[in-house]
Amino acid sequence: MKKLIRGLRDFKSSYFRANEELFEQLSHGQKPRVLFITCSDSRIDPNLITQAGLGELFVIRNAGNIIPPFGATNGGEGATIEYAIQALDIQQIIICGHSHCGAMKGLMKLDKLRVEMPLVHDWLKYAEATRQLVNENYSDYEGEELLDVIIAENVLTQIENLRTYPVIRSKLYQGKLSIYAWIYQIEAGEVLGYDPQNHAYVLLQNELPPSEINQKLISPPLTSNVEIHSSEIKEQAYKLPQEIPSSEYEWFPMTVLSPEQMERIYRGSMAK
Amino acid sequence: MKKLIRGLRDFKSSYFRANEELFEQLSHGQKPRVLFITCSDSRIDPNLITQAGLGELFVIRNAGNIIPPFGATNGGEGATIEYAIQALDIQQIIICGHSHCGAMKGLMKLDKLRVEMPLVHDWLKYAEATRQLVNENYSDYEGEELLDVIIAENVLTQIENLRTYPVIRSKLYQGKLSIYAWIYQIEAGEVLGYDPQNHAYVLLQNELPPSEINQKLISPPLTSNVEIHSSEIKEQAYKLPQEIPSSEYEWFPMTVLSPEQMERIYRGSMAK
Amino acid sequence: MKKLIRGLRDFKSSYFRANEELFEQLSHGQKPRVLFITCSDSRIDPNLITQAGLGELFVIRNAGNIIPPFGATNGGEGATIEYAIQALDIQQIIICGHSHCGAMKGLMKLDKLRVEMPLVHDWLKYAEATRQLVNENYSDYEGEELLDVIIAENVLTQIENLRTYPVIRSKLYQGKLSIYAWIYQIEAGEVLGYDPQNHAYVLLQNELPPSEINQKLISPPLTSNVEIHSSEIKEQAYKLPQEIPSSEYEWFPMTVLSPEQMERIYRGSMAK
Amino acid sequence: MKKLIRGLRDFKSSYFRANEELFEQLSHGQKPRVLFITCSDSRIDPNLITQAGLGELFVIRNAGNIIPPFGATNGGEGATIEYAIQALDIQQIIICGHSHCGAMKGLMKLDKLRVEMPLVHDWLKYAEATRQLVNENYSDYEGEELLDVIIAENVLTQIENLRTYPVIRSKLYQGKLSIYAWIYQIEAGEVLGYDPQNHAYVLLQNELPPSEINQKLISPPLTSNVEIHSSEIKEQAYKLPQEIPSSEYEWFPMTVLSPEQMERIYRGSMAK
């Protein structure tokens, strides 16, 4: 606690003093452009990893970056989403999962939680679609690889849930809202974004040379797992594209990949 | 969006590169010491204002830093609290409200929300104790002053709700858990902490010269409002003290204040 | 009642006598191939309009052919869907709305229902996404035309809700499930099916030449409403296609109706 | 699917063409006289077995023809019942169970369902009264016979649930509503109706000669099971009579049966 108190003082004397104008201005209101939904995990700092300034990210954080379907409960998620879209007119939503997620580990031993952590157990009901999908389609995965798949699939499951909210449905309908699926990889300090074109999670730092991207796509179990199941490819092919206006595709590295690179990526994942 | 993607790259090339060891270590697990509950407001960055490092703060964020009482709903708040206390053995919780809070403004025009934002309306039900307490005890306040009181009272209301969770109750009982009420003042870049001894929110940067503190305590409507109502004093008197082991009192500035300063503060607030 | 009792006797002496073998066989179990979800409206007889035999359609009927999102409630819809997919291994789902739907009329005067029919009012919460979408995107429609749009949009809203069920999500993922949006037009005795290619509801009795589609699509209030909003077209473009394997496209009529038929349909519907 | 599309065309060209006037008339509104609540089972076609025409039956269908008690959940059942009674002024309700019901089989192995089909498991909670009554009063039954008893009792349990709805309670009170318990026997193509006088389910085709009725009454395990348990008789004795104005008794065959016939029926079942 002492440390935090000292931190408050340092913040005031350094950062605040250097940006008094910004704070003066912020005190008159906020106009964030992005709703950032992520896990409560202490290893994630949305503003740090995106280098976003104060006033840019409206943030929802809970265990497992989970969004209950509309009407399923009266927790803070629905109200905060409604406020972000309706009152703040935010037009971009990022749901950001992360590697080594404790909540997703919980999905792998759900029964154990019923007694130990009943509230967590009940909360994970909203990730049940992830659990069942993975059980029925990834029976050959286990350990870290299985966890990576669960993490990747859960972000997409939560987007399905997000789509049931009236405010979301209406804005998507008008083409005024974009939803992005991200995964933050702690050990690499990198963020993978869901690529609707290739049905895979790919590196978002698109200035990296293709060779590296390729490497990325086949090296971490995450994306390769996600890629090799053709059933899944078909599935994911229709999951996100709707929310990502083609003008956004440029964010995705594959636009700078050559057929040969894609080919290598494909082989890379089939190799598993 | 472009900006965020660039930010990701900058983060990787600068911060991450400079701290690879930390990330390597974090990838093996988290051991946060504090559960930080605050608003989704884009103007708040918990790690920035406390200068806390990655891995130190487990964060819950929703509109209005509200915690529904145990059993009231199946949102993410309860599950995340349970996980923080049970699985991560966190022993310190900070509920941090903030000035100019949009959710608290909503409490002032609740009926209007029923139609405009039904989910926000239903969510604010868990701050109804704040609304009623303020209506019945601050009838002479309005505008900004009233909002400051609502913000200050709501943090304490949410602590009452927090106390209804089995895991919280049990840990408090064992003296293994401390709960702090904070208010972040955007325009001042300062954090006020609730002082159970004087039933007031006071500056946490306790090295500031007494004169400034005094000024702080009597100038912003916030703390003075909070102080003058004896009903509220009685109310607050039983709220936090039992959870704050005396060893924690030193965090509070008044311990370094002279009786004269305390006296001035007292008069300052009674003067209203 | 007398009439129904007589009907039972007639059924036994006529239909049953003529098909004893079928009944003998059915008594050993059911193997329906389609889950047919429609309204309780007395003017709809699923087996009659599809000429389906006994044992072919597993049927859910409630006011408004509404499916609450997963976890939103514990009504019969979720359990029946789970039983249909899990226990009966059904791989095709049809959600069939219909013209002149009383429940959808209720959506147009929701407040009035709060007191008059509280349960209907609460039930329509699961069609709130339809109400909001239509309010915000069809402000220039009213009366019969508005009702037609609400009916058409609601079927698509309910498919969004349907997608949040774990069993549905997993089967879609494996490409083992198809979901169809239908609208039964009582006055015409015809069924319009959602056509993902043209983002419109079109006649399922497939006789028309491609050239006519366009005409067809702008003539009847229903489809024309559905079509003229480009925003909606973009929206619908991504709504259903995922669930309709291209092999299914042939079901769609736009290929072969004569101009005369289109003309008749046009006049027929405009006559209203 | 092809088959259904062809069916739609056949329906239009045959049935619809032959009854255009009826459809024209139906398009102006519905005035059904009966609310027919039955199972989703594909082997049941309410309009076929009762030979009822379009516009006569307002239909609710879910797994197990179950009606949750008022206030227990927000599924479609309550809203649809409210709409039927309040908006359509329907004055007759039939709850129709059926032989070989999969949902009722589920009641016999409830624990197994908890994991396999959680939603079905939770849904059957509203048939728990049936399960317990049968467990405690039919310990000597098993297999098909037990299933028949469960099916018969469940229809009566659901009528108890139905009676908890405000609209139902009020109409019953005014003698403006009649509720009937039916069981459709697939293999026989016959419907048994609950007879409040003799506390038995009996054949509704009341023109059959007594001898046949008698035979009927003793042959299927169903009705005899239902009959011989005095506990059950007592149970049923207070269940339906109060809702069936004596004017309705004539529907029941036993009113034309002689004491000797009843005697035979009684002996017939005791003989087992």
Among B80-94, B214-228, C118-132, D175-189, the minimum mean pLDDT is found in B214-228
* C5, C23, C124 member nearest D186 (Cβ): C23
- Nearest Cα of chain D lies from the Cα of C29 at a distance, in angstroms, of 8
DSSP letters along B110-159, please?
HHHHHHH-HHHHHHGGGGHHHHHHHHHH-TT--HHHHHHHHHHHHHHHHH
- Nearest Cα of chain A lies from the Cα of C184 at a distance, in angstroms, of 24
Let me know: does D116 contact D101? Beta carbons within 8 Å.
no
* A72, A132, A241 member nearest C71 (Cβ): A72
* A42, A77, A116 member nearest B75 (Cβ): A77
- Give the closest residue to B5 by CA, choosing from C92, D135, C72, A50: A50
pLDDT digits (tens, 9 = 90+) for B124-157: 999 999 999 999 988 999 999 999 999 999 999 9
Look at residue D34 and give its three-state secondary structure: strand
Q: What is the largest CA-CA distance in chain D?
A: 56
Look at residue A216 and give its three-state secondary structure: helix
CA–CA distances in Å: residue D99 to residues C29, C47, C213, D220: 11, 20, 47, 11
A51 with B11: Cβ contact below 8 A: yes
CA angle D172, D173, D176 (to 5 degrees): 50
**pLDDT of amino acid A128:** 97
Q: Are strands C178-185 and B190-195 parallel, antiparallel or unpaired?
A: unpaired
Is any Cβ of chain B less than 8 angstroms from the Cβ of A86?
yes
Let me know: does A183 contact A97? Beta carbons within 8 Å.
yes
**pLDDT of amino acid D204:** 85
Question: Which of B15, B25, B34, B43 to mutate against chain A (most A CBs within 10 Å)?
Answer: B43
Strand partners, C61: C38, D61
Question: Length of chain A, please?
Answer: 272
Helix (H) or strand (E) holding D252, with range, is: none
Is any Cβ of chain A less than 8 angstroms from the Cβ of C245?
no
- For chain C, 272 residues long, give each residue's pLDDT as a single digit of tens: 789 999 999 999 999 999 999 999 999 999 999 999 999 999 999 999 999 999 999 999 999 999 999 999 999 999 999 999 999 999 999 999 999 999 999 999 999 999 999 999 999 999 999 999 999 988 899 999 999 999 999 999 999 999 999 999 999 988 899 999 999 999 999 999 988 666 688 888 653 334 433 333 222 233 322 332 223 322 222 232 223 232 222 222 222 233 343 333 333 333 33
**pLDDT of amino acid C196:** 64
Task: Record the pTM.
Answer: 0.79
Torsion of CA D47, D52, D54, D56, to 10 degrees: -110
SS3 string, B236-270, reads HHCCCHHHCCHHHHHHCHHHHCCHHHHHHHHHHHH
- Which value does ipTM take for this structure? 0.78
C125 with A157: Cβ contact below 8 A: no
- Nearest Cα of chain A lies from the Cα of B125 at a distance, in angstroms, of 10
pLDDT digits (tens, 9 = 90+) for A83-123: 999 999 999 999 999 999 999 999 999 999 999 999 999 99
Given a contact as 3+ CB pairs under 8 Å, which chains touch D?
Answer: C
Interface of A with C in 110-129 (CB under 8 A): 125-126, 128-129
Per-position b or e across A58-69, b if 16+ CB within 10 A of its CB: bbbbbbbbbbbb
Helix (H) or strand (E) holding A242, with range, is: none
A74 with B77: Cβ contact below 8 A: no
- Nearest Cα of chain B lies from the Cα of A86 at a distance, in angstroms, of 8
Which residues of chain B neighbour A41 with C-beta distances below 8 Å? 30, 58
Q: What average pLDDT does range B179-194 have in this prediction?
A: 94
Which residues of chain D neighbour C27 with C-beta distances below 8 Å? 99-100, 186-187
Which stretch, B207-221, C186-200, C220-234, D151-165, has highest mean pLDDT?
D151-165
- Nearest Cα of chain A lies from the Cα of C78 at a distance, in angstroms, of 13
CA torsion sign for B71, B73, B75, B77 is negative
Q: Would you identify the CATH topology of the domain C31-267?
A: Beta-carbonic Anhydrase; Chain A (3.40.1050)
- Number of C-beta neighbours around residue D207 at 10 A: 9
Higher pLDDT, A55 or B213: A55
- Number of C-beta neighbours around residue A25 at 10 A: 15
DSSP letters along D105-171, please?
HHHTTHHHHHHH-HHHHHHGGGGHHHHHHHHHH-TT--HHHHHHHHHHHHHHHHHHHHTTSHHHHHH
Is any Cβ of chain C less than 8 angstroms from the Cβ of A33?
no
**pLDDT of amino acid D85:** 97
In single-letter form, the type of residue at position A9 comes to R
pLDDT digits (tens, 9 = 90+) for D25-35: 999 999 999 99
Question: Which of D119, D148, D207 to mutate against chain C (most C CBs within 10 Å)?
Answer: D119
